[in-house]
């Protein structure tokens, strides 16, 4: 299926009490309890393209429908006559590319950030002439062919990998799958230049798309604090903060992670940069290693903790906040007097105020006091959709203790 003509698409309708005004003003989602879900609507195949009407039958735009999801409709285009075909995808991708090309001198970035770039549920990360697509909504699975054709035509990438794994696809009722949609899968880690460092991304076997571009500005800020410093990078993955710090002249970096393959890639990155003599790793549970380092009397000038999402949804909020507080409590004693502690959260459910308060409580429980010197967010290749708080998930708070 490559396109949907306006003449033959289904129609779905909001219930009278639905908040039509928010959708008209740009909110991109319709929840299942806001839509008339008669037998015809429930029978639509997941990923169907439909015309959305308000309760008065006034057209509101073209939506993707998934009766199996709590988000039953995702707004694709507020023009009711829009045809969702390769040309439509090309227009969205071209607009996204123009922004990234202006911001970044090299083609390594998040090219499409889902709703904020007008492609709901779609993530595309670019690694030179390789693109990794995460179609986290059913409609993108259905229309993957015109999406990939437009992606190649607009950007010139030769290899397109589909990474259909993760929690979000499960919420959409989608199976996990990993496919090479164009070109050939890379047989070795891909070298990615960022902030003067060299990272190695395992595109076929690493976490998410193989590298996290979102922390780029926070890597840079932390690196600026790290000249001649002893640096501890906790939850280091492939060395995000640590390698950036070494590129800016850190005296030493110790990277902690639970994944041996990730630490191996970090070590390869340090070797590629010629700084392996100042880089060391320690595999283990981060909480256990932080405790052990304190018992050893270790001290660092800069400590960065960038854990996975402890609160991926509202149900996990309180447990997540306790985990963030615990990270701060265990990390703070390792910071030398007048040193710096950077704490990060990528949890959608934890807003900045709650995260900052949990972090401050943990620092206080460790017997330390601090001042906040900087608050960071995701880079400009991860634009924020003003109507959708979930698109602004990343927070980084820098303390001087």
State the residue for tokens 């620092």: 363
Cα angle 124, 212, 300 (rounded to 5 degrees) comes to 170
For 260, counting Cβ atoms within 10 Å of its Cβ (0-12 exposed, 13-18 middle, 19+ buried), the class is exposed
Q: Where are the domains of the chain?
A: 6-77, 86-182, 190-400
- Which residues lie across from 146 on neighbouring strands? none
For 153, counting Cβ atoms within 10 Å of its Cβ (0-12 exposed, 13-18 middle, 19+ buried), the class is middle
CB atoms within 10 A of CB 288: 12
Give the model's pLDDT for residue 345. Answer: 96
Q: Are strands 29-31 and 335-345 parallel, antiparallel or unpaired?
A: unpaired
Nearest of 271, 270, 273 to residue 253 by alpha carbon: 270
Give the model's pLDDT for residue 166. Answer: 82
Low-confidence ranges of the chain (pLDDT < 50): 1-3
Residues 6+ apart with CB under 8 A from 138: 46, 47, 64, 66, 68, 69, 172, 173, 174
Q: How many angstroms separate the CA atoms of 68 and 88, rounded?
A: 26
Q: How many angstroms separate the CA atoms of 342 and 306, rounded?
A: 8
Give the model's pLDDT for residue 2. Answer: 44
Nearest of 136, 131, 305 to residue 211 by alpha carbon: 131
Give the model's pLDDT for residue 114. Answer: 95
Pick the CATH number of 86-182 from 3.30.750.80, 3.40.630.190, 3.40.50.1820, 3.40.50.2300: 3.30.750.80
Which top CATH class is 6-77? mainly beta
Helix axes of 216-224 and 240-247: crossing angle, nearest 10 degrees: 50
- Prediction pTM value: 0.94
CATH 1.20.210.10 for domain 190-400? no
Element (H, E) at 382: none
Beta-carbon-side half-sphere exposure of residue 401 (alpha carbons within 13 Å): 29
Q: Do domains 6-77 and 190-400 have the same CATH topology?
A: no
- Which residues lie across from 176 on neighbouring strands? none
Q: Is the separation of the CB atoms in 76 and 49 below 8 Å?
A: yes
Q: Is the separation of the CB atoms in 171 and 183 below 8 Å?
A: no
Q: How many angstroms separate the CA atoms of 44 and 168, rounded?
A: 21
The 10s digit of each residue's pLDDT in 168-224 is 888 888 999 999 999 999 999 999 999 999 999 999 987 777 889 999 999 999 999
Q: Is the separation of the CB atoms in 169 and 136 below 8 Å?
A: yes
Cα angle 87, 140, 390 (rounded to 5 degrees) comes to 110
> Where are any strands of DSSP class E within 148-189?
159-164, 177-182
């Amino acid at each position: 299926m490559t396109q949907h003509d306006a003449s033959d698409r289904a129609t779905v309708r909001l219930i009278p009490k639905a908040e039509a005004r928010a959708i008209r003003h740009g909110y991109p989602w319709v929840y299942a309890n806001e839509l008339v879900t008669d037998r015809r609507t429930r029978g639509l195949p997941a990923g169907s393209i439909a015309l959305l009407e308000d309760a008065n039958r006034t057209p509101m735009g073209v939506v993707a429908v998934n009766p199996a999801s709590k988000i039953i409709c995702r707004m694709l285009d507020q023009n009711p006559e829009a045809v969702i075909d390769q040309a439509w995808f090309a227009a969205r991708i071209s607009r996204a590319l123009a922004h990234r090309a202006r911001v970044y001198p090299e083609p390594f970035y998040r090219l499409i950030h889902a709703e904020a770039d007008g492609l709901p549920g779609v993530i595309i990360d670019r690694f030179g002439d390789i693109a990794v697509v995460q179609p986290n909504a059913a409609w993108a699975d259905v229309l993957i062919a015109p999406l990939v054709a437009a992606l190649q035509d607009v950007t010139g990438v030769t290899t397109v990998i589909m990474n259909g794994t993760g929690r979000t696809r499960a919420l959409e009722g989608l199976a996990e799958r990993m496919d090479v949609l164009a070109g050939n899968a890379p047989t070795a880690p891909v070298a990615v230049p960022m902030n003067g460092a060299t990272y190695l991304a395992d595109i076929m076997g690493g976490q998410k798309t193989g590298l996290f571009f979102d922390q780029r500005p926070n890597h840079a800020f932390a690196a600026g604090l790290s000249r001649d410093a002893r640096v501890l990078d906790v939850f280091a993955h492939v060395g995000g903060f640590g390698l950036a710090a070494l590129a800016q002249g850190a005296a030493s970096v110790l990277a902690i992670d639970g994944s041996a393959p990730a630490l191996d890639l970090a070590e390869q990155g340090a070797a590629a940069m010629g700084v392996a003599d100042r880089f060391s790793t320690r595999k283990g549970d981060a909480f256990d290693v932080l405790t052990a380092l304190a018992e050893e009397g270790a001290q660092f000038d800069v400590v960065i903790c960038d854990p996975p999402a402890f609160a991926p949804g509202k149900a996990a909020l309180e447990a997540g906040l306790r985990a963030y507080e615990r990270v701060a409590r265990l990390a703070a004693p390792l910071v030398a007097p007048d040193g710096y502690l950077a704490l990060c959260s990528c949890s959608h459910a934890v807003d900045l105020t709650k995260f900052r308060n949990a972090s401050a409580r943990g620092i206080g429980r460790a017997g330390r006091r601090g001042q906040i010197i900087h608050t960071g967010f995701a880079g400009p290749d991860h634009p924020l959709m003003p109507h959708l708080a979930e698109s602004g998930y990343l927070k980084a708070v820098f303390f001087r203790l």
